[in-house]
Chains A and B, each alone.
Chain A
């Protein structure tokens, strides 16, 4: 943050915070200023709510610090100077993390880094939080609060993106540099090719992946399957390397697009599962700390702070997804708060029981953070309903879809059984039509997907399996 300049907001904040005001530094979100940021963020929201922001609009003054505003910085909180913009964005991240118990001191979190601005900011913020925790740890006498660990995962999709090899190598170097610069504390970087979930042998995996994608005729289906494979890859890294949280950089705009595209694909029932702060239907719970940040804000932060991103690696989307994102972009242009409204609508849908951090009783250190996020959580329901999940996209299945599933006694082989246990949307846009092509498709699927179909779900509810036991027993060839 730029030095000097009086700021009414900051002074009064100091009074509110009393003790911590002496600790004013030139870097707002380091040291004890985290809480100050949070206060500032709250204050900002209050100003916004009271409509006082209007007073400052014509003079182009930052409503928080009453400083002249850079023309370019217009977040959705009105116009802010770059310092306040940065801290308001970090404030949103911090609020999401603390109020949903996303990261506790004993955690080891894996940040999924795609190279784009959203995951770049996620990485940056997680680093800043960790860095601050480290400083506190060193300064504390009793060393009671451990510092959470951070790792970074990058999934190499070069098998399908056909990026020229020199460009790809350059990108990998950039990523290594980005991660090594985010120290201390040092972070391990895991680069894993997407085909590695198919086979231990990379050529074999590559061929299987390519053949699998070739067998899908629908462009949107192909794109979506790739997204699911990406998630499986991230889960695999997190699981294998001993992480217990997976951080994604999904921002409001991205989630808004997902709301519309899930609606268009008939996935209205499962939609609320995907858009919450926490999604613990996976082996390793997934958290979305940037859920309240707009894409423009994240882009702006990247350019303000010269955070390096790698746009080249992100392929354009086509089909339904492409149509949806241009529709959402159009709406956004017409009304900048549209993304937020769309997400707010979806927020009013009832989430699932797995949309919160599972409570583990064995850690005493967790207790404080658990207590803190408990009140923000969904009403703890008396009996946790068991869900049945689509083995491809992991969407919880609707009752009516399950009913059509239960007349499965007729299924001839595991491929057919697999196909019938997928959600209608995957059946339509991903599965091939016809028995022989279905068997071929099934033979290409990576082990985690096959295993999920067999388990009957991602961990819960095996009633379906019991219902169709005969079918499973008669045809159990892919044992390992």
Chain B
């Protein structure tokens, strides 16, 4: 099919298959259409606009925090959202939200990028520090507990940081840069783990509507490859890729639509409503969503504050035995995991 397409294009001087005017400059990763740069930007942005409109992601006048990590996804998200907000009169009050873990030297580069975005796109930047959110910087935590266990802390704290920051700044909604590849990967991982509750939740474009800060993913159907070739994208190395991510890239190579198909499968899974909505209470201490009395972060903080840093570290198997049977495997999944701890947990 590709061959014949290429041939006709050659005959017609490889014209853009959308506008039929300019020369095709790239093969669109999602569809393999040969199109010109201008048309690529246009369809890229228009698709995201369509997703926002179709799913009623925002309401006029809302105050929206864009989770800004300094990576490519959030950089492009910040640009595209501010552009669409202007072009289509969303009437949104956008700002960048960044978290400073307080690790010496670690976030300097990414904070630099975020600060540049602030100037370039005219979006105000708010930085909240771990000190603001938890009363401890990561450096202080490491000093307290040693390097060995800090993964538990960084996973739990990072997972909550954006939401806590957004709440601190009186935000209506938090927009994150999770793209189609991330979502496809999460669907696969949840299948591999047997986690049906997460499997049913992870495809929703907006989550936590019952919680303090709803989160939405305007890039749900946007391919990572397209984000990378979008002009304002910045280079951000992929630190580690898990099995599942590699698998998705392999699939994309032989069938680009596989990523969308995985998401479609995830959306259409027949999951009974009783499994769909697991009892989700809130933490008695901080109000953050938690299935236990106290959320994980509060348990860890309690330990830190009482000088018992090991409190809450390790499996909670003893606490909720049985019901966690299928999820035990999560611990064996380290190799399959990708990205930094905590980032994929939505």
Contact = CB atoms under 8 A, between A and B. Distances in A.
A345 B254 contact: no
B121 interface: no
A323 B252 CA distance: 11
A338 interface: yes
B265 interface: yes
B258 A269 contact: no
Contacts of B195: 345
B196 A320 contact: no
A45 interface: no
Nearest to A330: B243
Interface in B1-40: 1
A242 interface: no
A268 B268 contact: yes
Given A323-B251, A345-B196, A349-B271, 15 more contacts: A259-B191, A260-B191, A265-B258, A266-B262, A268-B264, A269-B269, A323-B247, A327-B250, A331-B243, A337-B329, A341-B192, A342-B191, A345-B195, A350-B272, A398-B268
A119 interface: no
B199 interface: yes
Given A217-B1, A341-B329, A266 B193 contact: no
Contact of A265 (B261, B266, B271, B326): B261
A341 B194 CA distance: 6
A266 B260 contact: yes
A266 B329 contact: no
Interface string A328-356: 00110011011001101110111000000
B194 A271 contact: no
B107 interface: no
A345 B199 contact: yes
B335 A334 contact: yes
Contact of A342 (B192, B251, B265, B336): B192
B82 interface: no
Contact of B193 (A268, A323, A341): A341
B329 A345 contact: no
A319 B255 CA distance: 9
B315 interface: no
Contacts of A348: 194, 196, 271, 275
21 contacts: A217-B1, A263-B261, A265-B258, A266-B262, A268-B265, A268-B266, A269-B265, A271-B269, A323-B247, A323-B251, A327-B243, A330-B243, A334-B243, A337-B329, A338-B192, A341-B193, A344-B194, A345-B191, A348-B196, A349-B271, A350-B271
A104 to B, nearest CB: 29
A375 interface: no
B262 A335 contact: no
B93 to A, nearest CB: 34
A259 B269 CA distance: 11
A263 B260 contact: no
Interface string B333-345: 0011000000000
A428 interface: yes
Most chain-A CB neighbours within 10 Å: which of B1, B191, B199, B267? B191
B305 to A, nearest CB: 36
B148 interface: no
Contact of B270 (A220, A272, A323, A344): A272
Contacts of A346: 191
A337 B191 CA distance: 13
B327 to A, nearest CB: 10
A319 to B, nearest CB: 6
Contacts of B243: 327, 330-331, 334
Given A320-B251, A323-B251, A268 B329 contact: no
Interface string A306-333: 0000000000000110010001001100
Given A267-B265, A269-B268, A345 B336 contact: no
Contacts of B187: 263
B332 interface: yes
Interface band, chain A: 35 or more
B233 interface: no
B260 to A, nearest CB: 7
B32 to A, nearest CB: 13
B199 A264 contact: no
Most chain-A CB neighbours within 10 Å: which of B255, B257, B262? B255
A431 to B, nearest CB: 12
A262 interface: yes
A335 B258 contact: no
A335 B272 contact: no
Interface string A238-252: 000000000000000
What are the 9 closest A-B residue pairs judged by CB atoms, nearest first?
Answer: A268-B265, A266-B261, A269-B268, A350-B270, A348-B196, A263-B265, A266-B264, A268-B268, A341-B194
Nearest to A320: B255
Given A260-B188, A341-B329, A323 B194 contact: no
Interface in A371-402: 398, 400
Contacts of A267: 265
A341 B336 CA distance: 14
A259 B266 CA distance: 12
Interface in A210-240: 217, 220
Nearest to A428: B257
Nearest to A217: B1
A342 B198 CA distance: 14
A433 interface: yes
A157 to B, nearest CB: 24
Contacts of B191: 259-260, 263, 342, 345-346
B266 A264 contact: no
Contacts of A319: 254-255
A323 B255 CA distance: 11
Contacts of B254: 319-320, 323
B269 A268 contact: yes
Nearest to B199: A345
A133 B271 CA distance: 40
A349 B257 contact: no
Given A323-B251, A327-B247, A334-B335, A345 B265 contact: no
A265 B259 CA distance: 9
A400 B251 CA distance: 25
Contacts of A263: 187-188, 191, 261-262, 265-266
B190 interface: yes
